[in-house]
Chain A
Amino acid sequence: MKTNSIKNKVLITACFMILLAICIIWIFPMIWALLTAFQSENEIQRMDFHILPVEFTFENYAKLFHNDSSPVLRWFANSLVIALGHMGLVLVIVALAGYGFTRLHFKGRDGLFLILMATMMFPSVMNLIPNFKIVDSFGWTNTYLAVIVPGAAGVTNVFLVRQFMLGIPKDLDEAAYVDGANHWQVFWNIILPNSKPVLMVVALFSFTGAWNDFLWPSIVMRDVDMLPITPGLQLLQGQYMTYPGIAMAGAILAIIPTFVLYLFAQKKFMESMSLGSGIK
């Protein structure tokens, strides 16, 4: 028994060492990017690789912010409007649909839902070109609507919210119906407050999803001033091919919002990952 516990201890320590090594590899690029953004141009161009800046400077950020051909602050603001707008729209639509699919009794409800689920198998690449044409024919190209609205048609969030709302005890709303409440009152006073956990998850993922979207906004935003920061960084990369300091400053700026969100809602992010896959 004793040898067994020693063996166990060795095993756990080995485990710790391996994980530590992996984490160092994982965190190294982030630390390097963060610190390179504070190195001066001279220091970087000497090309002897080091991580800690010899002299700490904000000049990269200063140059990044005063650049007319890559207006990063404008891009950052665009991204905020888009991500928040998308998040708001998804929350409203998905909460309503979740109620409809769990509490209303219309003909063909569950069949309709099954059809929706089946479309999850449909690869999004097949919709790319026609969706551009539709957005374009609405006159939405180069407007926020082009990146806020189409993504809200996704099925995954509806699925998550429906599953969650199915779990809210029916007795709660039935009591309210008996008291004479209508669907809107039940939705607003009972279902919505009880659905906060899942709506939180939907909010986080629709925000980060819209913030990180790359291909679609680069297609519908032809005007540089309208780009969100994620596709914007591609222009930045082209412009600062040999200026890693400024490019890193741009990358850090683009990462900040999702990073801050992660700091505050880490547990929610982790829980939600298994939410999608945990339902058999």
Chain B
Amino acid sequence: MKKKINLWTLLFIGPYFILFIIFFLIPAVFGIAVSFTEWDMYNTPEFIGLSNYNKILFDSSSIYYDQFRIGMGNTILFVLIAVPLCVFVPLLIAVLLNMKPRGHRVFQSVLYMPTLFSISAVMIIWSFLLSLSYGPFKTWFDMSTDLKSTQPWAWICIIGVTIWWCMGANMVIYVAALSGVPQEQLEAATIDGAGAVIRLFKIVIPNIRFQLLFTAITTTVAQFNIYGQPLMLTSGGPNNSTKVLMMYIQENAFGTGISNAGMSSAMAILMGLIIMLVSTVQFAMNRRSER
């Protein structure tokens, strides 16, 4: 009897578990291990202790120190600006959609659409649209600066395109959440003389706080991984000012020349630790505000 059950377990859980072990568990351990080594991806990794981390974090003569400082700085700058916008813009639009004006379903379908397009298709379209030669800015606004290669425009372009591209997912979540806000509470507040803004902050937002927290965390994690936008829109320029950490991680491990996968792994681990730290803090802050 017992053996039979084990066979069933093997059949149903086994396939997933094999994949999970090979492509999640082993890489997770392996990734941490190689970050303590010098490794070119093909020869045996050579253990060098904390040397990679030391170079990245403290050795200001090392190029990896500069890469990490620039890449992490730009990534954090992007996250700090993009994440609040990727929460509040769709929230605002969801509130408007929830008033159910004529055509709100069509509006919602249109606004959701870009999330389904691949990043490279979106970036090709926008990179031409934002270019001085082929976009509307010269003809319509008589502009003469190239937006993508001038700061702060380069960042504004990247952030704007990011919102255009990925706002829809959060928007749909908020629309669903808003329709679940108890109507009686809103009516009671209206009778008590609460205006639209007060109702939004006192009733609506507390009611959808779980969805707000959920999207804030998922959006933060997603945006830390920013890569395609600067790669295809600005190539990290002007002067590396939009070069993000994922680009350095990719270049060091998989770029042309000899791979420095050990160093690259150390950067990836540091980036992962920062992501985990930030999501934990977000969680904790929410817990505290709940009390």
Interface residues of A (CB under 8 A from B): 11-13, 15-16, 18-20, 22-23, 26-27, 29-30, 32-33, 36, 44, 47-50, 92-94, 96-97, 99-101, 104-106, 116, 119, 121-134, 136, 149-150, 152-153, 155, 158, 183-184, 187, 208, 211-212, 214-215, 219, 229-234, 236-237, 242, 244, 247-248, 250-252, 254-255, 258-259, 261-262, 266, 269-270, 273-274, 277-278, 280
B108 partner residues in chain A, CB cutoff 8 A = 270
Q: How many residues on chain B are close to A (CB under 8 Å)?
A: 93
- Digitize B106-130: 1 where CB-to-A-CB distance is under 8 Å, 0 elsewhere: 0111111110111111111111110
Interchain Cβ contacts under 8 Å between A and B, 20 examples:
A11-B99, A19-B101, A19-B104, A27-B110, A30-B113, A30-B114, A49-B134, A49-B140, A119-B28, A126-B28, A128-B253, A129-B41, A129-B264, A136-B41, A152-B23, A153-B24, A236-B124, A237-B120, A237-B232, A251-B120
Q: Are B112 and A269 in contact (CB under 8 A)?
A: yes
Q: Determine whether B27 belongs to the interface, using a CB cutoff of 8 Å to chain A.
A: yes
Closest chain-A Cβ to B226's Cβ sits at a distance in Å of 11
Give the complex CA separation of A270 and B175 in angstroms. Answer: 10
**CB distance A96 to B11 under 8 Å?**
yes
Residues A124 and B225 in contact in the complex (CB < 8 Å), given A15-B101, A49-B134, A273-B176? yes
**CB-CB under 8 A for A183 and B8, given A49-B136, A248-B128:** yes
Contact code string B192-233 (vs A, CB < 8 Å = 1, else 0) = 000000000000000000110011000001001101100110
* Contacting residues, chain B, for A128 (C-beta < 8 A): 31, 249, 253, 268
Q: Which DSSP category, helix, strand, loop or mixed, fits chain B's interface?
A: helix
* B 240-271 contacts with A by CB, 8 A: 246, 249-250, 253-254, 261, 264-265, 268-269, 271
Report whether B23 and A273 are in contact in the complex, using a CB–CB cutoff of 8 Å: no
Given contacts A29-B129, A96-B12, A104-B9, contact A121 B26 (CB under 8 A): no
Contacts of B16 in A (CB 8 A): 93-94, 96-97, 100, 153, 158
Chain B: minimal CB distance from A270 (Å): 5
The answer, yes or no, to whether B1 is at the interface (CB within 8 Å) is no
Residue contact A127 to B9, C-beta cutoff 8 Å: no
Which residues from 140 to 157 on chain B have a C-beta closer than 8 Å to any C-beta of chain A? Answer: 140
Complex-state Cα separation, A184 to B22, whole angstroms: 26
CB atoms of B118 and A211 under 8 A apart: yes
Give chain B residues whose Cβ lies under 8 Å from the Cβ of A150: 19, 23
Contact A152 B125, beta carbon cutoff 8 Å: no
Q: How far is the CA of A125 from the CA of B225 in the complex (A)?
A: 8
Q: Contact: B265 with A15, CB < 8 Å?
A: no
Quick check: A119 and B22 within 8 Å, CB to CB? no
**A237, B124: Cβ atoms closer than 8 Å:** yes
Q: Measured between alpha carbons, how far is A131 from B169 in the docked complex, in Å?
A: 28
Residues of chain A lying within 8 A (CB to CB) of residue B279: 121
Is A100's CB under 8 angstroms from B9's CB? yes
Q: Is B133 an interface residue (CB 8 A)?
A: yes
User: Could you tell me the distance between the alpha carbons of A92 and B12 in the complex, rounded to whole angstroms?
Assistant: 10
Most chain A C-beta atoms within 10 Å of own C-beta, residue among B20, B30, B102: B20
Closest 3 CB pairs of A and B: A100-B12, A130-B27, A274-B176
**A133/B176 in contact, CB under 8 A:** no
Contact, CB under 8 Å: A266 / B109 = yes
Q: With the chains together, A79 CA to B98 CA distance in Å?
A: 37
Q: Do the beta carbons of B13 and A208 come within 8 Å of each other?
A: no
Query: How distant is the Cα of A190 from the Cα of B111 in the complex, in angstroms?
Result: 38
Which chain A residue has the least Cβ–Cβ distance from B89? A22
Q: Which residue of B lies closest to A157 (CB)?
A: B16
Instruction: Give Cα A29 to B161, complex, Å.
Output: 11
> Which of A119, A133, A248: most chain B CB closer than 10 A?
A133
B27 and A134 within 8 A (CB): yes
Beta-carbon contact of B12 and A130 below 8 Å: no
Is B120 a contact partner of A233 (Cβ separation < 8 A)? yes
User: How far is B134's CA from A108's CA once the two chains are assembled, in angstroms?
Assistant: 61
